[in-house]
Amino acid sequence: MRILGLSLTRSLFIGLITFATIAVNASIPEIKPGTPFTPLEPTREESITTQQVMSNLLRGHYERKRLNDDLSSQVLDTLLDDIDSTHSYLLQSDVKDFEQFRKTLDEALSRGNMKPAFYIYNRFQQRVNERLSFLLSELKENAGKYTFDSDETLNLDREEQPWATSPRELNDLWRKRLKNSILNLRLAGKEDDAIIELLTKRYQNQLNRVHQSKPVDAYQTFMNAVTRSFDPHTQYFSPRNSENFNINMSLKLQGIGAVLQTEDEHTKVVRLVPGGPAAKADNLEPEDKIVGVGQDKDGEIIDVVGWRLDEVVDLIRGPKNSTVRLEIIQGNDSTSGDSKIIAITRDEVKLEEQSAQKEVIEVIDNGETRRIGVIDIPTFYIDFQGRMENRPDYRSTTRDVRRLITELQEENIDGLMIDLRSNGGGSLEEAINLTGLFIPTGPVVQVRGARGNVEVLQDLDPEVLYSGPMTVVVNRLSASASEIFAGAIQDYGRGLVIGGQTFGKGTVQSLRPLTEGQLKITQAKFYRVSGESTQHQGVIPDIMFPSLFDKEKIGESALTLALPWDTIKPARDMKNNPITSKIPQLRDLHNVRIEDNPDFIFMREQKDLVTEMRGKTEVSLNEKVRRSEREVNDERRLALENKRRLAKGMPVLDSIDDDTDKTEDKQNSSKKSESSDDEIEGVADADTKNADDEKEPDAMLQEAGHILLDYMKLSSPAPGMTALR
């Protein structure tokens, strides 16, 4: 059994782009619009696999759910949400028909009977077939006559909308969607004839692929609705996805280093592998949507909207040193639909490039320059093979950080910061060992199994490598092992935790083999030394920084049926925390300092703008209105950026286009990002180079440094500050 769960994985279908042979864009039989969808039939192997999955879930899952009518109802609701969350394909009559299974899916699952699941999936595919046939017919007969001067609008937020009562109602919705797609491409500068040709090719490809569906597609869709009815991190992997998942877990990767998932008709970037080619190219971000893929520097861009995820991944994969070009719609651009083409050179994602790194930042405090050591840890890693072979130079987070701290101490730092922003987790053992560098012996994390048994995992090494003042910097993408380390440092009162509320993934998963594929199942939960779970709530910083993350979309609390936060008995007496009494004063000093700080003012104003834009759920289908809205938004974004630049004595921009490759979170870190879904393209620019061609300091780290110095003053009984080493 393979124990997982220390790294952040949250997508239903995950594909890490790694080395493989590029799939040839083989000729796919063209399906005529209106051709009936051929129903799929379940296989005997899937029936056997279903019984294996249910046995594992009912006996081994942390929640210990019962296979009854309540679970049956939850599976049906989850399945409908998975296949048609926007209520754009199925009819009200379809949903009513599916009610016959609301309280019988439990019986079907216990017998391995997949007929109800395939009945629902086949109906859905039939409706998708009808929608694509309508779009192709509309493009051929009417799209050329569309006008864009009316007051029509399109509602983009349909999750709470009622199901359509007739095909005519759906036709009107999809006509508006088609108009919006055409308008997006017009605004991107494409000619009408080229737009019709592009969309016709896109929808025809999608229609062809609907008719290429296989039984495994229906089975995987249904079984993931079953597993997600237990919790969002329990997943069924088909044999193909099992292979991709196993590749994800390897230490050395070749490709561009990105995790993808399917969202509606698009392929969306979930996260980037630290140190990977995409992260280093700095032109792809989480939440970006990939709409086209081209090979080499001048290969044709193939439209991949509506493609299966595995087919998109096959196109993006390729050998080291080759180039892939991606046409993307940036995640922060939900309404305009503008796309741009980026190039990434495929390479090996090396452990060295994901390892801990150090730097020294200078913080001016009352006219005096203080030196703060910063250790950036992108993931909790360890070379298991090297350790097993007793290699003297095997790499691990703790070994590397130990060396870096020693080097920083020789450079006479005044304090230390551990930067865990966007660190999605990794090795549990390393999280414990790293904590041990800063505390004497003692408990670090508690693990409670499904039967309620609690294991306390401890640091047994009495050595304290660094006993001086320190902070841990986190954000919403700091997850799992990062939360264990940050929580322990906070519980021991060993240092301040600063930044944003962390992700909240406090569950442990294991992999179990099946007749067809494998099951990733949640089997335990993590608890802090204090007895508080890291699940759902994450770690709450002592001092919060502004963040553009939308917690309704990103984090464990945003996931349906996530396990709840709770507490168990503390593993250590938490009464004498030396930091607690100082936090109110530290917050007051922080708030006074950032009141006039240009970067923090910019962050607050940008957050207001993001919130306003996110609240717009309808788009106009009037071309003049859309162009005007774009101009206004560009002007507002430019004004925000130039206000920040003027306050910092930097040259202003003439156009927002001068800054289109910059993103807000470079202000947080030169190599980490929060999420494009929560940023406005081109506004933030803390990594912009000034007239002397020098990089701007990281505003978040600078302020974290000031907070650390404040803490040192409050903690020092004598004048001045002396860091303990």
Give the orientation angle of helix 69-83 with respect to helix 115-141, to 10 degrees. Answer: 20
Left, alpha or beta for 621 (phi > 0: left; psi -120 to 50: alpha)?
Answer: alpha
504, 476 in Cβ contact below 8 A? no
Half-sphere exposure of residue 48: CA atoms within 13 angstroms, side-chain side = 9
Nearest-5° angle of CA 161, CA 167, CA 170? Answer: 40
Cα 54 to the center of its chain, rounded Å:
29
Determine whether 242 is an active site residue: no
What one-character DSSP code corresponds to residue 554?
S
CA distance 353 to 655: 35
Cα 641 to the center of its chain, rounded Å:
26
Q: Which of 158, 1, 7, 162 is nearest to 483 (CA)?
A: 7
Q: Which of 268, 255, 346 is nearest to 307 (CA)?
A: 268
φ and ψ at residue 214, rounded to 5 degrees: -120, 160
Q: In terms of DSSP bridges, do strands 368-376 and 496-499 run parallel, antiparallel, or are they unpaired?
A: unpaired
Determine whether 505 is an active site residue: yes
Two tokens at 629? 């809205």
| Strand segments (E) across 377-453 | 415-419, 442-449
CA distance 68 to 84: 25
Torsion of CA 16, 251, 439, 422, to 10 degrees: -20
Q: Which of 542, 512, 537, 511 is nearest to 526 (CA)?
A: 537
Two tokens at 546? 């502004």
Proportion of the chain in helix, strand, coil states, percent, rounded to 5: 40, 20, 40
CA distance 18 to 24: 17
CA distance 426 to 7: 5
Nearest-5° angle of CA 111, CA 112, CA 117? Answer: 120
Q: Give counts: helices (H), strands (E), the chain.
A: 19, 23
Indicate the SS3 state at residue 370: strand
Q: Which of 478, 607, 608 is nearest to 541 (CA)?
A: 478
Sign of dihedral through CA atoms 373, 379, 383, 388? Answer: positive
Indicate the SS3 state at residue 493: coil
Q: Which of 142, 121, 113, 152 is nearest to 39 (CA)?
A: 121
Concatenate the DSSP letters of all residues of 499-538 into one string. Answer: ES------EEEEEEE-SSSEEEEEEEEEE-TTSBB-TTT-
What one-character DSSP code corresponds to residue 91?
B
Annotated catalytic residue: which of 231, 288, 376, 491?
491
Two tokens at 712? 């040192």
161, 630 in Cβ contact below 8 A? no
Annotated catalytic residue: which of 229, 422, 427, 480?
480
Contacts of 126 (CB under 8 A, 6+ apart): 36, 37
CA distance 449 to 232: 18
Annotated catalytic residue: which of 505, 525, 666, 672?
505
Distances (CA, A) of 668 to 212, 362, 381, 451, 663: 45, 16, 23, 42, 10
Determine whether 422 is an active site residue: no
Which residues are catalytically annotated? Answer: 480, 491, 505
